[in-house]
Amino acid sequence: VLIFALSDVILAGTDCLVAGDSCSSDETCSPRLRTLRQCVAGDGSMKLGPSAKSQCANAVSALLSSPLRGCQCKRGMKKEKNCLSIYWSLHQSIIHGLNLVESYPYETVHRDYDYVRLASITADSEVGMTTVNRCLDAAKACNVDELCQKLRTEYVSTCIKPTSKSGLCNRPKCNKALRKFFDRVPVDYTHELLFCPCTDTACAERRRQTIVPSCSYENGEKPNCIIQMKNCHADYVCRSRLAQFKFDCEPSETSANGCKQENYGACLSAYTGLIGSTITPNYVDNSTSNVAPWCSCSSSGEARDECDHFLGLFTDNSCLRDSICLYPSLATKAKESNKNNRIGHI
């Protein structure tokens, strides 16, 4: 078995759409790419005959020296699914005995939280109040921002509007609108809406309803998590978002803050990237901060361990739990620091 560690072969990020066009127009690279696509297309490799395994191995080896090597995509980009299909053509987990250590295809985005805007919007509501409803303040702040208000209104109206035939919401359209909101609106607003702290059930229920769970999250009886996981793996966008979540929210007992990547913000952004996918996570109730996809591991049979592992990515993940629980205090400290800086300049 040949093993390629992606961290050893990734070059400076190249757009996979650009890399794919470059490879397709190259007389040496193009046939290798066609062969690889046959290798990963289910029964497509049967057309390659008895030498399929060696042909696939040669194609992968050659393409690791092509423009496709290390190509990446931007989350929420135009033609994101097309870009991801090119990425995963090369980076399949197992291809006829080739084991490519799975990473995720998105470019790393370094964002600094801009709590200055949020602090200025919510400052008035904090004056003279002993108890502050951060979830309500977050909603008010979103309504003040044009982009946040527009896209939030768009997904809410899409998710609560029933179809004429079934009387139910259109889940695909709802999820598409949700992804658009969380991909395009600054994290200053989305994180405040999703991770605001609550001390009573009314506040917690407002927080749980942020993503309209009756349409995007809940769906009658809980399906088996294995089915959800397989559906996610078959979808390029969901598969990529899940891979990023596993990477950025991987727990570690030896790291300073419980996250292997030591970055709460990256974990929260990866978590929000799953909202609007087939495994959309949400708060499981209005009395805790526990989150999980809408699925169960009961009746998993021989796949119970695999199912428990998948569900445990959310329910037994110290990195994710700490990222969510500590976010409010980190945001408050950032706002207080900004306030003190302003006072210092007066």
Half-sphere exposure of 265 (CA within 13 A, CB side): 12
Residues in the chain with pLDDT values less than 70: 1-13, 42-47, 92-103, 109-131, 164, 166, 332-346
Gap between the Cα atoms of 293 and 165, Å rounded: 27
CATH assignment at residue 268? 1.10.220.110
DSSP states along 268-292: HHHHHHTTTSTT-EEES-SSS--EE
Give me the pLDDT at residue 61, please: 84
Give me the pLDDT at residue 310, please: 96
Token couple for 164: 């004429």
Per-residue model confidence as pLDDT tens digits over 90-105 = 876 344 445 444 467 8
Q: Are residues 228 and 130 in the same domain?
A: yes
Domain count, the chain: 2
Give the closest residue to 246 by CA, choosing from 261, 235, 265: 261
**Domain-located, residue 4:** no
**Domain-located, residue 199:** yes
**Which residues contact residue 25 at a Cβ distance below 8 angstroms, ignoring those fewer than 6 apart?**
none
Q: Are residues 149 and 72 in the same domain?
A: no
Give me the pLDDT at residue 43, please: 61
Gap between the Cα atoms of 75 and 90, Å rounded: 19
Give me the pLDDT at residue 99, please: 46
Q: Work out the angle between the directed axes of helices 318-344 and 187-195 (0-180°, nearest 10).
A: 120
Q: Are residues 141 and 218 in the same domain?
A: yes
Q: Are residues 91 and 130 in the same domain?
A: no
**Domain-located, residue 26:** yes
Show the domain range for 55: 16-95
**Which residues contact residue 191 at a Cβ distance below 8 angstroms, ignoring those fewer than 6 apart?**
113, 268, 272, 327, 331
Q: Are residues 145 and 72 in the same domain?
A: no
Q: Are residues 136 and 84 in the same domain?
A: no
**Domain-located, residue 45:** yes
Half-sphere exposure of 78 (CA within 13 A, CB side): 1
Write down the pTM of the prediction.
0.82
Q: Are residues 164 and 71 in the same domain?
A: no
Give me the pLDDT at residue 221, please: 87
Give me the pLDDT at residue 273, please: 95
